[in-house]
Structure 1
Amino acid sequence: MTVGSLFTGIGGIDLAAEWAGMKIIWQCEIDPFCQKVLRKHWPEVKLYDDIRKINKSNTVCPDVIVGGFPCQPYSIAGKRRGKEDDRDLWPEMFRVVKELRPTWVVGENVAGFINLGLDRTISDLESEGYETQTFIIPACAVNAPHRRDRTFIVAHSGRQLRKRGVQRGTDEMEVRKGNAYKSQRSSEVCRYFITNSKRKRLQRSQWIQKSIQFTHDTEKIGRQWESEPDVGRVANGVPNRVDRLRALGNAVVPQQIYPIMKAISLIEEQLAGELNV
């Protein structure tokens, strides 16, 4: 599976995607320090410096689009102006999704996003034929030394669109026709992500609980948490300490989102097997 990464930061989500067997084909990050980190670790991957430059005429359509769209409008550390904040870039991410039409979309934001932006995001995605599920996963659930609750929105487009001839790159009218209904397959996929579809309360799914047992063990997919000062998470005296602090503050713990990326990979493998039967 291929992945296009928006608001990439230092690549926490991208790293988790690679652990899940996916391939990063492009990234988008505006911060100069984060760009240096990305170029070091993904030197062969195309790097855009502005999401506004991404469109279907110059960008390869991936299977999955991931993005931790800016959290300042929703963070308790800010003024929490939500969509009224000029840093609210969900509309740009949604534009890219509409133009490229990936099979999967994974969005990430702070816990406060639930009260200020979640309804709009879900409504936007569902208006384009995606079925969505939302999860809150704390970093401490994957043995990180801090809580750091994060909201993850997982959206799937459904296979019926392609079965009826609506492919990526078709004209807008065809896409709208294809999105006029919700596919049975998409519903089945989303049910895979929840423990009980009748409950409206956000909850972890069974696959997350199973993943914790064997997939995101830090001994298997990454180094153990290294010693750092209790405050700051970056050792004193290292170069670019302020930049590193800011980058870490905005980053996603890879182990935190890995179960989601792995589940997507497993679902696609299962669906591919069914198609080959």
Structure 2
Amino acid sequence: MKSIELFAGIGGIALAAEWAGIETVAFCEREPFCQKILNKHWPDVPIFDDIKTLDKKALEERGIDVGAIELITGGFPCQPYSVAGKRKGTEDDRDLWPEMFRIIEEIRPTWVVGENVANFANMELDRTLFDLESIGYKGRAFVLPAAAVEAPHERMRTFIVSHSNSVRRNDRGNNRQERQIQGERHRNDKKNQPEWFGRLDRAREVRAVFPNTNVERKGENYNQQFTGFCEEHRGRWAVEPDVGRVAHGVSNRVDRIKGLGNAVVPQQIYPIFETIMKIERGEITC
């Protein structure tokens, strides 16, 4: 399976996808420091620096077979929804879900996996799911903690997993306007919230939804992949990061802290990709 990752950061999602056997064929990431990390670990994968200009044509010009892309992933910016921010949601200029949705609509992958802060589930989750539904995707959301995969911090995150069957994927024209009208109607009707909308029982949810996954063994490779960030690796999770919280003249220290702070914990999202691959192999049903 081939994937493109939007808002890639330092590649936490791509690393988890790689563990599951998914090949990332393109990144979209604007921060120079994060681009350096991506280039180090995936030197042959092209990086696009502007989500607003990324489209099917731009991908094809870089030699990417768009028709082979079966998965689009992305941790779209969380500032509009984070409890640490002003929580303006769709009124925030940094709300880039519409750009991610535009790319999904144009490429039409089989799978879409999105990531955001936990508070996203209480603000704009319904809009996102109804947008996807309007173009033929069925989705579900999970609020999962990093602690569920034995990380020493809670780090709640909302993960959106959506799937489109081949019939709807191939439907490019006749019913698009009707689906968009239906999607808009849903977005304006708060009474139509999905039964799984809102905060879930996080600790049990990850085990119930993604049983029999081998997240723990994947953690052994995490430190090896990001050796540039820490000088020592004591066990799978460091108690405290070796990169300090205050910049004392060390080059890239602030960039490193920012990159790590925005990163997706690979072990946290890995069960989703492993389950997707099991579905694709016919081992389980969707």
Same fold (TM over 0.5): yes
CA contact (8 A) 1:161 1:179 kept: no
| Aligned-partner Cα distance in 2 for 1:236–1:148 | 27
Residue identity over aligned pairs, in percent, reads 54
From 256, 268, 278, the counterpart of 1:266: 278
* Equivalent-residue separation in structure 2 for 1:86 and 1:179 (angstroms): 23
Q: Can you list the C-alpha shifts for 1:68-90, whole angstroms capped at 9, x where unaligned?
A: 00000000111111110000000
Cα distance in 2 for residues equivalent to 1:261 and 1:109: 16
Tell me whether 131-140 or 228-237 shows the greater mean CA deviation.
Answer: 228-237
Change (3 A) 1:40 1:91: same
How has the CA–CA distance of structure 1 residues 229 and 155 changed in structure 2, closer, same or farther, with 3 Å as cutoff? closer
Cα displacement (A) at 1:239: 3.2
Quickly say closer, same or farther: Cα 1:33–1:179, change in 2 above 3 A. Answer: same
Change (3 A) 1:45 1:230: closer
Q: Which runs of 5+ in 2 are unaligned?
A: 60-65, 183-193, 224-235
The structural deviation recorded for 1:145 is: 1.3
Pairing 1:7–2:19 present:
no
CA gap of 1:141–1:237, structure 2 versus 1, over 3 A, is farther
Partner of 1:255: 267
Q: 1:81 to 1:128 in 2, by over 3 A?
A: same
Give CA deviations for 1:35-61 in whole Å, capped at 9, x if unaligned: 111111111001100111211223224
Q: Is 1:73 aligned to residue 93 of structure 2?
A: no
TM-score normalised by length of structure 1: 0.80
Counterparts in 2 of 1:63 and 1:48: CA distance versus 1, 3 Å: same
Contact residue 149 and residue 215 of structure 2 kept, 8 A: no
Number of the residue aligned with 1:136 = 143
Match of 1:95, SS state, is helix
Pairing of 1:25-44 with structure 2 (within 5 A):
25-44=25-44
Matched length = 250
CA 1:147/1:105 → structure 2, altered by over 3 Å: closer, same or farther? Answer: same
CA distance in 1, matches of 2:282, 2:249: 49
> CA 1:145 to 1:215, structure 2 compared with 1: closer, same or farther past 3 Å?
closer
**Residue in 2 aligned with 1:193?**
none
Asked whether the 8 Å contact 1:129–1:179 carries over to 2, the reply is no
Alignment-mate amino acid for residue 42 of structure 1: W
Q: Does 2:115 match 1:108?
A: yes
- RMSD (Å) for aligned C-alpha atoms: 3.0
Residues 173/55 of structure 1: CA separation in 2 closer, same or farther (3 Å cut): farther
Contact 1:16/1:254, CA 8 A, preserved across alignment: yes
Q: Which amino acid in the other structure matches residue 101 of structure 1?
A: R
User: Is the counterpart of residue 160 in structure 1 residue 167 in structure 2?
Assistant: yes
Q: How far apart, in 2, do the equivalents of 1:259 and 1:39 lie?
A: 25
Cα shift at 1:173: 3.2
